[in-house]
Amino acid sequence: MDIYDEILSSRLMLGTARYPSPEILRQAIIASGAEIVTVSLRRESAGERAGQKFWDLIRETGVKVLPNTAGCHSVREAVTTAEMALEVFGTKWIKLEVIGDADTLQPDLFGLVEATRILSEDGFQVLAYTTEDLVAADRLVEAGCRVLMPWGSPIGSARGLNNVYGLRAMRARFPELTLVVDAGIGVPSHAAQAMELGYDGVLLSSAVALAGDPVAMARAFKLSVEAGRLAYEAAPLQPRDMAEPSTPVLGRAVFA
């Protein structure tokens, strides 16, 4: 997976919030094989983490940090949070979220495009949390975004891919762009489906953190992402409207 010219072997990104303990988070990261974890500046600043212990854990696992602007509802708020994240985490990567609706947590696409333009001009490498809207996607790319992260369904809903047609259309529109399904994935089959559509990766959070066994679930998602990608690369059989026999009819016995 290509994130701003950095090639990663894993196609799975993992959130770091709401795990039962730092040790379970550590084990889950290792089991998932993820090379990128997302961290909210707001949660880090609020002291939800155990400070130095959290950073010791990140260094131990060797993963890269992708700070996000979770919880931001305006362009100014998102841009300011991104600038603070650069100082705290020391990376130009930013998972940009500008929330427009408090109930569905749907992105404010107008604000997202504006914030992307501002941050891109300032040298940030934006990974934009968006919808499957193609017009918004075009505007984000024009604003400098090279990684689009469309939702599968609302954050934390575990409903999977609500609009497969829209996600497939986005993949077709941007064949060379890095696309990562973010939000709404609840079980490994959802992740496999996203990969079968040709997406470059998936981002998971609650689906692993809130599972009965987060470590086992992390491994399950690792395998599902790998399987989905292999299936896509193998050019799977496309659906048909009519039946087609799998056993040849030529040469079968004929009884008079």
> Which residues have CB under 8 Å from 151's CB, separation 6+?
106, 107, 129, 130, 131, 132, 181, 182, 183, 184
Tell me the chain's radius of gyration from C-alpha atoms: 20
Both structure tokens of 13: 């990104």
246 is in an annotated binding site: no
pLDDT on residue 52: 67
Both structure tokens of 19: 């795990």
pLDDT on residue 53: 74
In a domain, 250, yes or no: no
In a domain, 242, yes or no: no
pLDDT on residue 247: 73
In a domain, 224, yes or no: yes
In a domain, 247, yes or no: no
For tokens 């030529």, what's the residue?
A: 250
166 is in an annotated binding site: no
State the catalytic residue, choosing from 53, 64, 92, 95.
Answer: 95
- Domain hosting 48: range is 8-234
Sign of CA dihedral 43, 44, 47, 50: positive
Both structure tokens of 50: 């155990």
Write out the chain's pLDDT in tens, 256 residues. Answer: 999 999 999 999 999 999 999 999 999 999 999 999 999 876 555 444 455 677 788 888 899 999 999 999 999 999 999 999 999 889 999 999 999 998 899 999 999 999 999 999 999 999 999 999 999 999 999 999 999 999 999 999 999 999 999 999 999 999 999 999 999 999 999 999 999 999 999 999 999 999 999 999 999 999 999 999 999 999 988 888 888 777 776 666 666 5
156 is in an annotated binding site: yes
Ordered DSSP codes for the chain: -EETTEE-S--EEEE-SS-S-HHHHHHHHHHHT-SEEEEEHHHHHTT-S-THHHHHHHHHHTPEEEEE-TT--SHHHHHHHHHHHHHHH--SEEEE--B--TTT--B-HHHHHHHHHHHHHTT-EEEEEE-S-HHHHHHHHHTT--EEEE-SSSTT-----S-HHHHHHHHHH-TTSEEEEES---SHHHHHHHHHTT-SEEEESHHHHTSSSHHHHHHHHHHHHHHHHHHHHT-PPPP-SS---SS--TT-----
Read off the pTM: 0.90
In a domain, 248, yes or no: no
Which of 97, 101, 99 lies closest to 69, judged by CA?
97
Domain count along the chain: 1
pLDDT on residue 40: 85
183 is in an annotated binding site: yes
Sign of CA dihedral 245, 248, 249, 250: positive
For tokens 């799998």, what's the residue?
A: 246
CATH number of the domain encompassing residue 49: 3.20.20.70
pLDDT on residue 254: 62
In a domain, 111, yes or no: yes
Whether residue 53 lies in the annotated active site: no
In a domain, 3, yes or no: no
62 is in an annotated binding site: no
In a domain, 149, yes or no: yes
